[in-house]
Structures are given as C-alpha cells and as structure tokens.
C-alpha cells in the first residue's frame, strides 16, 4: 500500500475530505487517485495532463491542500482550468 501524502497524514478523514472538496477538480481528483494508489500514468490521463506534468501537478495540489488544512483558502493557479 502506498504511503499517504504529507498533507493526508495526521488529519481526520472528514477534515481531509472537506479540504479535498474545496480544491479545484483537477487537483482534488489527482490527489484522491494518488491516495487510492492509482498509477501516476493513469492519474495523468484522468486529469488530462501529459505524464511529465503529473508530479508537478501533484506537488502543487499537495501545497494547496496543506494550505486549506491549515485554515487558508485555495488560490487559483494560472493555466489550470476548473471544469466543474
């Protein structure tokens, strides 16, 4: 089983789920898939980015999730379209 990402540790499941729901769809989906143990290549396909972009996207998503868990608000990122 893969280890949980840093922002997913030591946080109640409910709090984490609430924070994930506040992220824009690409970030939320990418993190949820990674937490579920999905292969990075498949995550890239699911969020419609090139394979080479998935790690930077996940790192940015983690940073945004950490901000939300610390009580901040997600800031929009240039170039990321939220198609909700």
The pLDDT tens digits of the residues spanning 9-43 come to 566 888 889 999 999 999 999 999 999 999 999 99
Tens digit of each residue's pLDDT (9 = 90 or more) over 34-72 = 999 999 999 999 999 999 999 999 999 999 999 999 886
Find the DSSP H helices in the chain. 13-22, 25-35, 40-46, 54-69
* pLDDT recorded at residue 77: 56
Quote the CA–CA distance of 62 and 74 in Å, as a whole number.
11
Based on its alpha-carbon atoms, the radius of gyration of the chain, rounded to whole angstroms, reads 12
Confidence of residue 6 (pLDDT cuts 50, 70, 90): low
CATH 1.10.10 is held by the domain 13-69: yes
* pLDDT recorded at residue 1: 45
C-alpha count within 13 angstroms, C-beta hemisphere, residue 36 = 11
Please state the domain extents for the chain. Answer: 13-69
């Amino acid at each position: 089983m893969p280890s949980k990402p840093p922002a997913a540790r030591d946080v109640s499941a409910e709090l984490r789920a609430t924070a994930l729901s506040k992220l824009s769809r690409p970030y939320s989906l990418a993190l949820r898939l990674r937490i579920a143990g999905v292969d990075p290549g498949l995550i890239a396909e699911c969020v419609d980015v090139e394979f080479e972009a998935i790690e930077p996207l996940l790192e940015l998503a983690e940073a945004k999730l950490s901000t939300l868990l610390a009580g901040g608000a997600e800031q929009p990122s240039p170039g990321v379209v939220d198609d909700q």
